[in-house]
Amino acid sequence: MKRIRVALAQIGTDIGDFEVNAKKVLSCVKNARLKGADLIVFPELCLNGYPPEDLLLKPEFLESGMKALREIAQNVGDIVVVLGFAEKEVDIFNSAAVIFDGKVTGTYRKHFLPNYGVFDERRYFGRGIRACVIDYGGLRIGVGICEDIWHTGGTTERAIAAGGAEIMLNLSASPFERGKHERRRRLLEARSVDSKAVFVYVNTVRAQDELVFDGGSCVYHPEKGLIASAPRFKEDVLFCDVEIGFDSQKLLEPTHRYAEYSPALPVQLLRIEKILDGEKPELEVRGAPVQYGAVEELYEALTLGLSEYVRKNGFEKVVVGLSGGIDSALTAALAVEALGPEKVTGVFLPSKYTSALSRALASSLAENLGIELIEIPIEDALESYRKSLEGVVEEGISGTTDENIQARIRGNMLMALSNRYGWLVLATGNKSEFSMGYCTLYGDMAGGFALLKDVFKTQVYEIARYLNYKHGKDVIPEGIIEREPTAELRPGQLDTDSLPPYFILDPVLEAYIEGCMPVDEIVRMGYDRSVVEGIVTRVDLNEYKRRQAPVGLKVTKRAFGRDWRMPISYLVPGTILEFLISGEELR
């Protein structure tokens, strides 16, 4: 029986802050040694921060990372450290350094380079062509990075089939999206059972710009199943004693099930001379990590993503335009959850169309959240705009033009507060609105961060109800949740004047945007053809708006932004000009 104590450093690091990142890594290494770990493994590109994007094209960024790696190595003693970093040699590689006894013993270079969704790794990295196995006191440990585990026929299978790896490490930086955690879990379980190897999966955590990383690091045993798991959405160092009770020599036989799939990739063998059978301190007994439902994990992702964006960009406060509606209410409530009430300011911007109910609901929300509420009426500014345009627009300002001016005045007021006080303006639009163009450029789209950008309207209601349930009281007033959605830009206006009901709209949008389904297939789901065609046309025609939207968190399989890359100008029914003249640029 072979035994090894493994530490999984589920941490997040800041892009380019090599000094702080190196200190964090060494702190984890010190903690792991004190608890008797033989090996500690860190996430993908942990030293540089993830994703570094075009910083990888800057020589000084790569050189600083390589220097930090050497300094870390000098401070590592008799524990094996496997650390993700950007390696600059004949090319740039997404690599894992194997460090022991004061030096980098060797490196593994990522084999499968994803080039879909938010990933552009072929833009930056060369492809690794060798499997890597560490012979650690007679125990063989393979090394892989993120995408390497999602495909067969590469370095992971080669390390097991030809290198005799009994344990397979996977350093990952896998962004959060709804339902992905369960897919990862099933994948790891299948890989472990199929290959007869223990899989140690280490995922990063925290957030970077639009990406949230939810952790969920774990260890799967081919016979025992899941034997250790870290919490999601927070940093943690997970310790696990791994026992290998099967004959590793059997893995070297050509009859091994993966042998036929593994190409003739060379195997790099790194030898670590150390005995693994020393006395170790007892590990604390942990309870099982919290299991999140679909709405709960959305809540966690949104609050984590916002707190990280505010921290990393140095904002002291955020400001939200409160309308008495559900989107602004949830945005403000999530901001309070992420940052605390003292860092959130609400602004109520009434016009003559604003109802007394909206004022009462906005006031009640602010009181429930414990945030400051500022009121800035916009009617005088609106009249000034109308008067200024009288001699230019012959028939006078009315209709959609008048509605959009109101939204833009509100955006100007919020941005003025941002300029004066340095507050981050949170745009409040959701994915349903961004999809359909039911938003105003330079109006309600104004802001530095769109928290709900990838959240459909029906999910907005679900998260609001969850938040109230979590607190055991109506933090978001029930009147806001029950109220029929309205922009209040004209008398008696409702969202359904311009959009299908959200319970119809959202499933069609999800099928078209995330499922890439054609119209005929969506119609076969039971939806009226004219409704589907109208929705799809509006999605296509409003790309020009979405391209100018603020950055927002990705929480679905296909978020607007790097996930969704559509041309603005291409042949669709109608044109943008026809769309605007017809009055369809709503709000």
Looking at the annotation, which residues are catalytic?
44, 110, 146
Distance CA(488)–CA(358), nearest Å, equals 9
Distances (CA, A) of 144 to 30, 102, 427, 547: 24, 23, 40, 36
Record the tokens describing residue 487, joined without a space.
């922009």
69-97: b (≥16 Cβ within 10 Å) or e = beebbeebeebbbbbbbbbbeeebbbbbb
Q: Which two tokens stand for residue 56?
A: 């990888």
Distance CA 22, CA 2 (A): 32
Q: Are 141 and 167 in contact (CB under 8 A)?
A: yes
Amino acid residing at 369: L
Pairing mode, strands 424-427 and 318-322: parallel
3-state SS, residue 100: strand
Whether 429 contacts 444, CB under 8 Å: yes
In one-letter notation, the amino acid at residue 249 is Q
Query: Can you tell me the distance from the alpha carbon of 435 to that of 453, in angstroms, rounded to the nearest whole number?
Result: 10
Q: Provide, for the chain, the percentages of residues in helix, strand and coil under a 3-state DSSP scheme, each rounded to the nearest 5.
A: 40, 20, 40
Distance of CA 154 to the CA centre of its chain: 27
Cα 82 to chain centroid distance, Å, stands at 24
CB 114 within 8 A of CB 151: no
Helix H segments across 55-162? 59-74, 121-124, 155-161
User: Cα–Cα distance between 257 and 61 in angstroms, integer?
Assistant: 42
Spatial separation of the C-alpha atoms in residues 252 and 166, rounded to whole Å: 11
- What residue type is assigned to position 169 of the chain? L
Rounded to an integer, what distance in angstroms lies between the CA atom of residue 76 and that of residue 99? 7
Nearest to 239 by CA among 34, 25, 83: 34
Please say whether the dihedral angle defined by the alpha carbons of residues 540, 495, 529 and 460, taken in this order, is positive or negative: positive
How far is residue 5's CA from residue 2's CA, in Å, rounded to a whole number?
A: 10
DSSP 91: S
Rg (CA), the chain: 27
Assign 150 to helix, strand or coil.
Answer: coil
3-state SS string for 381-425: HHHHHHHHHCCCCCCCCCHHHHHHHHHHHHHHHHHHHHHHHCCEE
Answer whether 52's CB lies under 8 Å from 64's CB: no
CA-nearest of 151, 121, 51, 177 to 514 is: 177
